[in-house]
Structure 1
Amino acid sequence: MADTVPHVTRPMSRGSMAIAAFSTVVEWYDFTLYLYLATVLSRVFFGGGEGSLLVTLGGFAVAYLMRPIGALVFGHIGDRLGRRRALLLSVALMTAAMLATAILPTYAQIGPAAGLLLLLIRCVMGFSVGGEYTGVVAYLLEGAPTHRRGLIASSASAASEIGALLAVGVSALTVHLLSPVDLDGWGWRIPFLVGAALAGSVWIARSTMQESPDFERQKAEGTVPTRPILHTLTHHRVGIARAFAISALGSITYYVGITYVPAFLTSVGAFGETEALWLATIAAVVVIAVTPLAGMLSDRIGRKPVLIGLAVCAAVLPMTMFALMGEGSTARALLGAVVLAGVAGGVSAVGAVATAEQFPGEGRLTGLALGATAATAVFGGFTPWVAELLVARTGWDVAPGALIALVALAVVPIFWLSPETAPRRSSPG
């Protein structure tokens, strides 16, 4: 497992690093917007009848199946032709998918075909997002100073959460300002049009980025893998398994502990759509604050102890937090949302660098696709749907927290037995 980025002779420009880090704002805005508007979309595209929210969340889960496929395709491009090219192609496809969503006909206009078209476009979105986050994390890791990898790689997580914050903020503002008739008639399109414009601007910015110095090193040394998937499966199976475990915890804490929360609060009748979205906005701010702190801590004491500590928190806290949020009290709901957001933000921050460090530069994007993105497809895409199904069928409000706790308990032994991946600190600071 490589502490694996060799000495960089041509440092990455600060401009390229900044563009890479902050472009994930758009990626996560575009992808999480669907979940934050789930209750609205269930009416607009699926008729709003009984079970429509469950169908909408199911569409989110199905789209997630495309993430590992997209990650493999874009990972192959990134490992064979360069990180920059893969990142340009993925955001171009994302722009097209967001614009297509914004102009879709609704259930009232074409009936059930509207929902089918929405799900097809979500699959395209899932495919494009598959190549985004892992590509950015690899790019940042490969350009960062060795002793600052945790902090710099965590900036992708922080920027992603800024995107989610923007998504929930735009959603909450749209829902608040428009009447229900206008919201369902045309207002829901506004957040998606904003996303399409943002994605297009990111493509323009990324066109100015330089190539990863590690990929340039591979070209100079002639070590670029000709078959990245075969190369990674042959040499890095253990790294794939560890990346899967790290991403499993990060995905379920994020997608059940943060992005599912507005739908949960609305579904159990604790809050209306507007109040639930504002609570989610506050939780997103907490994640942004926690992320760089967790990244810096992992640079100072190592990835392993931070991951173990966060996994223990994820095993102990979520059931209590969901119980508090289900009681209908604003103060208790806020406490539950903030605690869950803090845990999720910490795991995402450390998980970004820890998963990338499981692989050398050769085949790194493919390794992340096979490990981290595959776990996200299972523990990110399907778990909000499973959580909603359990709450609806059993009436047990703490079921989402139990899901998080089960995954956390399963991965603690893996973290405990894994070696440290952070480089040794040769001097303070």
Structure 2
Amino acid sequence: MSRRSMAVAALSTVVEWYDFTLYLYLASVLSRVFFGGGGNSLALTLGGFAVAYLMRPLGAAVFGHVGDRYGRRRMMLLSMALMTAAMLATAVLPTHAQIGPAAGYLLLLLRCAMGFSVGGEYTGVVAYLLEGARPERRGLVTSSAAAASEVGGLLAAAVAALTVSAISPPALDSWGWRIPFLIGGALAATVWIARSVMQESPDFERQAAGGTVPANPLRHALANHRAAIGRGFAISALGSITYYVGITYVPAFLAGTTTMSEAEALWLSTAAALVVILVTPVTGILSDRFGRRPVLLFVCACAAILPITMFSLMAGGSHAWAAVGALVLAAVGGGVSAVGAVATAEQFPGEGRLSGLALGATTATAVFGGLAPWLAQEMMDRSGWPMIPGAMIAVVAACVMPVLLAMPETRPRPAARRP
């Protein structure tokens, strides 16, 4: 594919992840604006994030069917159109002070629409990049989706931090919180325009020319790729919990368990996003050089050993040690996301690839990504033990390790040289 089409696909995840993670970075602000700021308002806000995440598998199945049956390009245009509408609608929502509890329900409804659209977005972009890349560069090229998504997370954290720092608390709760969502809606509309001139995936064109496009992609994936669906679920479970508990949940964790202010926690998250951006291409190159399996095993071992200690450092009260804990967790989560993107997509052939990812990877993301921050908060509130989030990551990593040990290598073999 042309470099322009590949660049548009990779960079579009910037907007996708900005729009989706902005909610989590502004969780403490939104808890006041839409849920009244009571004792359980933060838990309700995180619960809304979790419920919206449950829409991701449904969105992945619907958009995956479109992508597998009618083309990757058409699917990505539809999902971005829905994301644009949901983001702009969020920016103009009435608040709890204006219409009472109904504000929270409306926010939840729009988060569900956002979750539905994101369900098809990331897997579609990963498949598109994988199918358009040269075999020997698949790890690096596909990891660019993870890097670009973290640029979106970085942008979300930076915009949120700047908004919270620059606007007084009363003005922030009144109208200032709308600014980041308006920015997101404008960015999403720009990406939709850029996607309108993208090329179709060469793998889908091969299927169309050869008559191998599955009539029922979900049924095709279930009938032919059950083991691959299970492996994709395991890899995505590890990637989701290391990212959503180890990175995006950290600002809420720091604001709730330390003396760090909301603005300071968000700026630390911005630094963590920079670490992820630096780690991601390096991990992609290593997976091209040494294979997906050994790199996955290494980052999985890190996820099993390090998180409890890192959350202990963050809860200790020192801002310096909190920074160390957050940055180490960001490096682990970034590494898992980078190699996990290409490894999950390579579990499937082109026929039914998006539907297979929907059944495996996206389902795991809904459980271990959307529910995990809410569950971590609930368990900490009940137990008073601040290392609960780290323990959650470690347990999932320990459970995923046997799957990775038994997983076949999916990196394409280098082409044999002519004598």
TM-score computed with the length of structure 1 as normaliser: 0.97
* In the alignment, structure 1 residue 52 sits paired with structure 2 residue 54: no
Counterparts of 1:353-364 in structure 2, within 5 Å, are 353-364=342-353
Task: Give a deviation string over 1:105-124, Cα, whole Å, max 9, x none.
Answer: 00000000000000000000
CA contact (8 A) 1:141 1:356 kept: yes
* In the alignment, structure 1 residue 281 sits paired with structure 2 residue 270: yes
The AA in structure 2 aligned to 1:23 is: S
The AA in structure 2 aligned to 1:231 is: H
Query: What is aligned with 1:33?
Result: 22
* In the alignment, structure 1 residue 418 sits paired with structure 2 residue 407: yes
State the SS of the aligned residue for 1:211.
coil
Counterparts of 1:235-246 in structure 2, within 5 Å, are 235-246=224-235
Paired with 1:271 and 1:264, the residues of 2 have a C-alpha distance of 10
Task: Give a deviation string over 1:340-370, Cα, whole Å, max 9, x none.
Answer: 0000000000000000000000000000000
Alpha-carbon RMSD: 0.8
* In the alignment, structure 1 residue 83 sits paired with structure 2 residue 72: yes
Paired with 2:83 and 2:416, the residues of 1 have a C-alpha distance of 43
The AA in structure 1 aligned to 2:317 is: G
Deviating beyond 6 angstroms after TM superposition, the runs of 4 or more aligned structure 1 residues are none
Query: Post-superposition shift, 1:391?
Result: 1.4
**Unpaired segments ≥5 residues, structure 1:** 1-11
Query: What is aligned with 1:180?
Result: 169
Paired with 2:415 and 2:303, the residues of 1 have a C-alpha distance of 32
Counterparts of 1:15-414 in structure 2, within 5 Å, are 15-414=4-403
State the SS of the aligned residue for 2:221.
helix
The AA in structure 1 aligned to 2:37 is: G
The AA in structure 2 aligned to 1:336 is: G
Task: Give a deviation string over 1:44-102, Cα, whole Å, max 9, x none.
Answer: 00000011000000000000010000000000000000000000000000000000000
Aligned length: 417
Task: Give a deviation string over 1:121-149, Cα, whole Å, max 9, x none.
Answer: 00000000001000000000000000000
Task: Give a deviation string over 1:217-268, Cα, whole Å, max 9, x none.
Answer: 0000000000001100000000000000000000000000000000000111
Query: Post-superposition shift, 1:424?
Result: 1.5
The AA in structure 2 aligned to 1:34 is: Y
Task: Give a deviation string over 1:275-306, Cα, whole Å, max 9, x none.
Answer: 10011000000000000000000000000000
Query: Post-superposition shift, 1:392?
Result: 1.3
Query: What is aligned with 1:7?
Result: none
The AA in structure 2 aligned to 1:110 is: I
Paired with 2:47 and 2:97, the residues of 1 have a C-alpha distance of 21
State the SS of the aligned residue for 2:124.
helix
Query: Post-superposition shift, 1:327?
Result: 1.2
Percent identity over the alignment is 72
**Higher deviation after alignment, 329-338 or 254-263:** 329-338
Task: Give a deviation string over 1:296-343, Cα, whole Å, max 9, x none.
Answer: 000000000000010000000000000000112111011001100000
CA contact (8 A) 1:252 1:380 kept: yes
Paired with 1:412 and 1:213, the residues of 2 have a C-alpha distance of 34
Task: Give a deviation string over 1:174-219, Cα, whole Å, max 9, x none.
Answer: 0000000000000000000000000000000000100000000000
Paired with 1:208 and 1:324, the residues of 2 have a C-alpha distance of 48
State the SS of the aligned residue for 1:132.
helix
Paired with 2:187 and 2:415, the residues of 1 have a C-alpha distance of 41
State the SS of the aligned residue for 2:222.
helix
Query: What is aligned with 1:8?
Result: none
Paired with 1:269 and 1:327, the residues of 2 have a C-alpha distance of 8
Paired with 1:162 and 1:213, the residues of 2 have a C-alpha distance of 27
The AA in structure 2 aligned to 1:406 is: V
The AA in structure 2 aligned to 1:119 is: L
Paired with 1:270 and 1:70, the residues of 2 have a C-alpha distance of 39
Paired with 2:380 and 2:24, the residues of 1 have a C-alpha distance of 17
CA contact (8 A) 1:270 1:326 kept: no
Query: What is aligned with 1:3?
Result: none
The AA in structure 1 aligned to 2:85 is: A
Paired with 1:179 and 1:142, the residues of 2 have a C-alpha distance of 48
The AA in structure 2 aligned to 1:18 is: A
**Unpaired segments ≥5 residues, structure 2:** none
Query: What is aligned with 1:4?
Result: none
Paired with 2:308 and 2:415, the residues of 1 have a C-alpha distance of 41
Paired with 1:151 and 1:188, the residues of 2 have a C-alpha distance of 36
Paired with 1:227 and 1:427, the residues of 2 have a C-alpha distance of 37
